Structure 1
Amino acid sequence: MKSLKLDTPKSLAQRVMLRLRQGIIDGEFALGAAISEEMVAQFFGVSRTPVREAMGQLQAQGLVVIRPQVGSFVFTPSAADIAELCAFRIIIEPKAAEFAYRHDCAGAVAAMEQAIAGMKRALAAKDNVAYGRADTAMHDVLFASCGNHYLVESYQLVSGRVAALRTNLTSPIDVQTPASFEEHRRLLHLFECGDFAAFESLMTTHIANSGRTYAQALQVA
């Protein structure tokens, strides 16, 4: 496991939560893996109290499942969970794109171009974690730029799980082929053109394909 260095001036529980959250998203903790409160406390050099609080926050985000008298585990979605998650994204992401286009088109385009540049570097390096982070940044831009905090809060309900599934299940495939990268480049082009009928169609296909990959990968696992 990588160093669990803490470097942000937040509350102790918040700092533990953020580091564990990133570890889950980056695949340091596999889907379904047990997370020992005692082990985490030792890594951080803290008591179990902030770790327990951090686990509760991660459970609220859907990233951790706490089983009383058993332990804490990284989430593992069912086929039904995946279908519902993808259906939610298909509804909300194209609408966020329309809002972002009207609210801050230039800022959104610049941020999406930066994310695509990161994806291109990760693709060349075959770095699935970096690709997953850049892919996540690309989708996050739509909400960061949309100017509607209700859309942002709705997306935050699932953003951590989506990012974790992306890095753990689709990014290892995406860095072996340019297909996903080309879809993202096309999404950016359609966004710039304001062609949201085509954007919604491609985003729907993109998310549906991801959902199938999630389900197939979890069946193999």
Structure 2
Amino acid sequence: MELERAKSLTVLAFEQVLEGIVEGSIPFGTLLSEKALAASFGTSKTPVREAFVQLQALKLVEILPQRGCLVLTPGIGEVRELCEFRLELEWTALRFSLERAPERLVAELDSVLARMDGAPLRGGPESYHALDDRFHRAFFAASANALLEGAYLALSPRIQALRANLSTPNAAIVEASRREHAAILALAKAGDREALHTELVCHIQRISDAYSRSIETEAAKAPGGA
């Protein structure tokens, strides 16, 4: 019974901190305290420490002995690699989905896109950021390839954290994102694979460029920055 309770407390701590990181309420560069989090959760430090280990395995944090746990700020090179890998995964999933379950793919994309209109930028499962994540996950849900979907789900927390921390809360940027999602849906409906691939490449490249600019801007603000 005690072992099960300890596991449940670790899961609680992990899920709470993970949610904060991927939604942006725990931003990049935050130094988390085992003691403070344990007090807020009403637990000992052990479940929090175990949660930190799991988050470090996801490459979201770095455990600093005697100091705490640092929420990692990705560099431009890491963002580029993530976006390159993401593009390959998403395009493969889209190809499989168009071959194996095109109606399911289009129906899910259509449903998610409709809910994006007027959605708040962040905060909860119906926020724009959460729906953006769901839109891209739909590529994998219809792909009928569990390994491919699993690879994306393992990467997803880092993608969500980038989106929450580095996407400027700007109406023009959100509208550009929505237009690109609408174009992806239209091309999926038409079954135009060549144009769909081009649109997906442009979409993810724009995201990569925007994140890189945000990192450069924040670096310039830091002491000793340009």
Bin the TM-score by the shorter chain.
Answer: 0.7 to 0.9
Aligned partner of 2:4 in structure 1 is none
Within-5 A mapping of 1:152-171:
152-170=149-167
Mark the runs of 5 or more structure 1 residues left unpaired by the alignment: 1-9
**Native 8 Å contact 1:174 1:181 kept in 2:** no
Find the aligned partners of 2:112 and 2:172 in 1 and give their Cα distance.
15
Q: Match for 1:207 among 204, 209, 219?
A: 204
SS in 2 for 1:66: strand
Mapped pair 1:104 → 2:101: yes
Aligned length, in residue pairs: 209
Mapped pair 1:86 → 2:77: no
> CA offset at residue 65 of structure 1?
1.5
> CA offset at residue 67 of structure 1?
2.1
Q: Match for 2:140 among 138, 143, 150?
A: 143
- Measured against aligned partners, the alpha-carbon deviations of 1:51-76 in whole angstroms (never above 9, x if no partner) come to 11111111111211212233211121
Find the aligned partners of 1:175 and 1:121 in 2 and give their Cα distance.
13
Find the aligned partners of 1:106 and 1:45 in 2 and give their Cα distance.
47
Mark the runs of 5 or more structure 2 residues left unpaired by the alignment: 1-6, 219-226
**Native 8 Å contact 1:132 1:171 kept in 2:** no
Which amino acid in 2 is paired with 1:23? G
**Native 8 Å contact 1:26 1:164 kept in 2:** yes
**Native 8 Å contact 1:128 1:175 kept in 2:** no
Q: Match for 1:56 among 53, 57, 60?
A: 53
Mapped pair 1:26 → 2:23: yes
Aligned partner of 1:16 in structure 2 is 13
> CA offset at residue 175 of structure 1?
6.2
Find the aligned partners of 1:71 and 1:175 in 2 and give their Cα distance.
38
The 1:185/1:104 distance shift into structure 2, 3 A limit, reads: same
> CA offset at residue 11 of structure 1?
2.4
Which amino acid in 2 is paired with 1:11? S
Aligned partner of 1:36 in structure 2 is 33
Which amino acid in 2 is paired with 1:59? Q
Fraction of identical pairs, as percent: 35
Which amino acid in 1 is paired with 2:106? V
**Native 8 Å contact 1:64 1:73 kept in 2:** yes
Aligned partner of 1:220 in structure 2 is 217
Mapped pair 1:192 → 2:189: yes
> CA offset at residue 157 of structure 1?
3.1
SS in 1 for 2:69: strand
**Bigger Cα displacement from structure 2, 68-77 vs 49-58:** 68-77
**Native 8 Å contact 2:11 2:51 kept in 1:** yes
Find the aligned partners of 1:179 and 1:96 in 2 and give their Cα distance.
23
